[in-house]
Amino acid sequence: MSFGFAVQATDGAARAGRLQTAHGTVETPVFMPVGTAGTVKAMTADQVRATGATIVLANTYHLMLRPGADRIAQLGGLHRFMDWPGPILTDSGGFQVMSLASLRKMDEGGVTFRSHLDGAAHRLTPESSTEIQRLLDATITMAFDECTPFPATEQQVQDSMELSMRWAARSRAAWAPRPGYAQFGIVQGGVHAELRARSADALLAIGFEGYAIGGLAVGEGQAAMFATIEATVPHLRPDQPRYLMGVGTPDDILGAVARGLDMLDCVMPTRAGRTARAYTSRGVLNLRNARHRDADRPLDPACPCVACTRHARAYLHHLFNAGEMLGPMLLTGHNVTYYQSLMRGLRQAITRGGLTEHAAALRAAWAAGDPP
């Protein structure tokens, strides 16, 4: 099966589409749960599938350090290793090198760094990142890029973007095409529309199966993020998937989808689940709050997850106060289920031409808050 993307319906700039891959079909817009080290934290693969998720994200940096890409390849690849036969997108490791590793030294060739785990020296280049992702058997491989710091001067952003474009060309040259597999380029350029346009043009000239918008949700604020998306999307091909990296809250997702994005990922729902925060149809709740101590009602009556259908809020509150691991497990499952339900509703709204009204109803319910 060849890799392909087809738009099925549009509503303004928003698209509902279908992604065909070697490991299955993905309906878009889609949210990808993050399985950084080969697991979506606190969930089994069956539980992730039960939420409706069809594609997950894993990370080159973490997996190259532990257990190692060669070992995963020897054991049959990441799909078998983590019990996920569906599509897997792997981040190239560029962000983690900049955010986690120590003693980084970047040059034209790549980045030399020391592991945050044991201080051991490593080096990542566009070629080695691409090869590691091949060993992992990633369905979608990401080009290696520099994570531009924020804030930064326009000249610093330009220099970083241009380096990332040179690395993108090398990533593409190192990539070995296979039926049903893809490699995405990453548009950089900070919040500068002209730099984003130049980056997108450079990536289209190289030629990828899809394109990501990187370097956002790093502190620039929602308004600047949306403005940057609006400035970037017109420079991307309409017949290829568009991926917004590392975003975000449900409201961020609504805005991104309305502006033409097809794929999103973020650690937010799983991280929130481990810290007692629940995303619900009535906004974000903190299960440690004393108001839930005696609450004999579901977390979210509209949610089909185990936390909502089998347990009361009082029980979830008790689990977190007692430090029981079941609390994070149940709440993570709920949050991932909520995000998948959110995306399913957006796809349906786009298909029927009612995205504006649907988004307004969602935001009104969030603003109304949780009833007493």
Q: Which residues pair with 123 in a beta bridge?
A: 112
Give residue 196's identity as a one-letter amino acid code: R
What is the distance between the alpha carbons of residues 340 and 53, in angstroms, rounded to a whole number? 6
Token duo for residue 231: 């400035």
How much of the chain is in helix, strand and coil states, percent to nearest 5? Answer: 45, 20, 35
Q: Which of 11, 91, 137, 370 is catalytic?
A: 91
Burial bucket for residue 254 (CB in 10 Å: 0-12, 13-18, 19+): buried
- Distant-in-sequence, close-in-space partners of 93: CB < 8 Å, separation ≥ 6: 59, 60, 61, 64, 124, 129, 132, 144
Active site residue 83: no
Active site residue 252: no
| Buried b or exposed e, range 76-113, using 16+ CB within 10 angstroms | ebbbebbebebbbbbbbbbbbbbebbeeeeeeeebbbb
Rounded to the nearest 5 degrees, what angle is found at the Cα of 49, between the Cα atoms of 45 and 51?
125
Q: Which of 137, 145, 262, 265 is catalytic?
A: 265
Q: Among all residues, which ones are annotated catalytic?
A: 91, 265
